[in-house]
Copies of this chain bind each other. A is one copy, B any other.
Amino acid sequence: MTFPTTVPTDLEIARNAALKPLDEIAERMGLGRHLIEGYGEHVAKIKLSAIDELSDRPKAKYVVVSAVTPTPLGEGKTTTTVGLGQALNQIGKRATIALRQPSMGPTFGIKGGAAGGGYSQVVPMDVLNLHLTGDFHAVTAAHNMLAAVLDNHLYQGNASGLDLHSITWRRVLDVNDRALRNIVIGLGSRTDGVPRQSGFDITAASEVMAIFALSRSLQEMRERFGRIVVGYTRSGDPVTAEQIGGAGAMAAIMRDALKPNLLQTLENTPVLVHAGPFGNIAHGNSSVVADLIGIRGGDFLVTEAGFGADMGAERFFNIKCRASGLVPDAAVVVTTVRALKAMSGRHTIVPGAPLPPALLEENPDEVHEGGANLRKQIDNIRLHGVPLVVAINAFPGDHPSEHAAIAEIAASEGARSAVCTHFADGGKGARELAEAVVEAADEPAEFRFLYPDEASLREKIEAVATKVYGAEGVDYDPAAARQLDTYERNGFGTLPVCIAKTHLSLSSDPALKGAPTGWRLPVREVRASVGAGFIYPICGDMRTMPGLSADPAAHHIDIDADGNVLNLS
């Protein structure tokens, strides 16, 4: 394997890309020009009529890309998804990629954008990482429209009898702004609203985002908006967006956002970028609509699920596939040497700081130690009956013995694996992975949900906690237990669960590495996204509005004289 350390920056590579007209990219998916609406020069939206129009085409193999428990730096899951898509095309399969849209908050914070990297990128990366076609802005606007309607409802007399202390609907902005986490609104004079405590979350955390990601049609999205619970009356009855007259306006605002966005990779593989729900308090997967179109677009649809297999993939299987009706044919578990070494518990990785030197030393034993995490994440995919491949995402500084260690772990689990160099080499670097994925997808899959709809909320939580996370059981704070009882009474008991916990451990404690055992999942609170259609128990502190660091990307991003965006990564 060659791994040049002289790969140019993502922005340099992206700027030198040879982009093809989007009509041509759409054509690769069998989408006629009449189904495409250009948005600027290198992005298009796909009309929703494509779903019906393509419905008699054969279904592509549906591949979900997941990962081991990542470090705070991420393990190149998006890059691998892009590399795999490009590689499938290189070996003669027509492949489409589906990704979430990056959030502008982290782009201007510390994380940077999320367009993949190196020679496995989605382009144009500046458009992708900034507004794209404005879908996130539409989510922000629709969410805050409902908030304005809600506060106006209070101001105009509160006909529904909402209890001011039981209002769950906050506001959102797509920016890292800690000062907005906890605020008091409605101050001033009598005509300036009703004073109460509230706050802002980042737009990715909006239930509107989750709803739009899970809806199969405009009508379904409209109905889901109506079911949003904005708060409760003093007697504990839920009050919905429909009741206070906000759902129709939200649908008008979100109408065009429901059309998936079409972009391309550096190798001109079609990419659907659509929606970006949070990966902890929401399900962390790209849109159902994009997948309903992509599944008719060729031989393979490669879609990414957020964080490790315990998080994004579990929700992919039990929330997204439940909503879409689509059935996965194979999964990829992205693994890095550094992630497994970190899972040994011997290193501390801090975003923005250099990696600890000890982590960079050749140490296949440490990889084996951390391998318990990979074994459990493989198991988490198999729990759902889906064949899988372990993708070993190579980094400069990896040692062949360490890659071999990962391959051994995979083999001992009976799983395929492949070393990938798509960051440095583009699709060529992921051909072996692509071949393995084709084989896996040809195996008979026996996809199954982890729990049936009719299980109780507690049974669902316990199924995820014990079977996927490896907990011994679940402990509920009294408030959480009461909340679960209320939700069952309210008729929300048939919904799936989306457990909000750290993504940095299989457990709810980010300090526990590997595949922790002998622990119990503490549920301190339970909330409901009734419109999106899931209940989310909260285990640990979930931050729904990030902050900026002392020297955030926002201080450095700028434009040059030609209007090129600088220092966007």
Q: Which residues of A contact B (CB under 8 A)?
A: 37-41, 45, 48, 104, 108, 126-127, 130-131, 133-134, 137-138, 140-141, 144-145, 147-149, 151-152, 155-156, 173-188, 191-194, 197, 218-219, 222, 245-249, 251-253, 255-256, 547-548, 550, 552-559, 561, 563, 565-566, 568
Contact = CB atoms under 8 A, between A and B. Distances in A.
A148 B134 contact: no
B558 A175 contact: no
Nearest to A129: B252
B175 A145 contact: yes
Given A130-B255, A145-B554, A182-B192, 15 more contacts: A131-B138, A141-B174, A147-B177, A148-B548, A149-B552, A152-B177, A152-B178, A152-B179, A178-B191, A179-B186, A184-B184, A184-B187, A187-B197, A222-B558, A248-B558
Nearest to A244: B555
Given A147-B177, A547-B155, A256 B191 contact: no
Contacts of A37: 38, 40-41
A561 B182 contact: no
7 contacts: A37-B41, A144-B173, A149-B554, A152-B177, A181-B193, A182-B187, A249-B555
Contacts of A182: 186-188, 192
Contacts of A253: 104, 130-131
Contacts of A256: 40, 127, 130-131
Contacts of A145: 108, 175, 554
Contacts of A555: 149, 245-246, 248-249
Contacts of A133: 134
Nearest to A177: B148
A149 B176 CA distance: 9
Nearest to A554: B249
A248 B108 CA distance: 11
A192 B178 contact: yes
A217 to B, nearest CB: 9
B187 A192 contact: no
Contact of A175 (B39, B131, B148, B559): B148
B218 A193 contact: no
Contacts of A563: 48, 218, 255
A295 to B, nearest CB: 22
A178 B149 contact: no
A568 B181 CA distance: 34
A193 B175 CA distance: 14
Q: In the complex, which of the residues A133, A137, A252 has the most CB atoms of chain B within 10 Å of its own CB atom?
A: A252
Nearest to A189: B182
A106 to B, nearest CB: 12
A127 B252 CA distance: 10
A285 B556 CA distance: 32
A246 B108 CA distance: 10
Given A37-B41, A134-B134, A554-B149, A565 B255 contact: yes
A91 to B, nearest CB: 34
Contacts of A192: 178-179, 181-182
Contacts of A561: 218-219
A187 B184 CA distance: 8
**Nearest 4 CB-CB pairs, A to B?**
A248-B558, A179-B193, A137-B137, A182-B188
Contacts of A141: 104, 131, 137, 174-175
A324 B227 CA distance: 50
Contact of A38 (B38, B197, B219, B566): B38
Contact of A151 (B178, B188, B219, B251): B178
Given A39-B39, A144-B173, A547-B191, A252 B181 contact: no
Nearest to A180: B185
B219 A558 contact: no
B134 A131 contact: yes
A183 to B, nearest CB: 5
Contacts of A40: 37-39, 45, 256
Contacts of A179: 148, 151-152, 155, 185-186, 192-194
A566 B185 CA distance: 31
A559 B248 contact: yes
Contacts of A194: 179
A521 to B, nearest CB: 25
Given A131-B256, A185-B183, A192-B179, A550 B156 contact: yes
A134 to B, nearest CB: 4
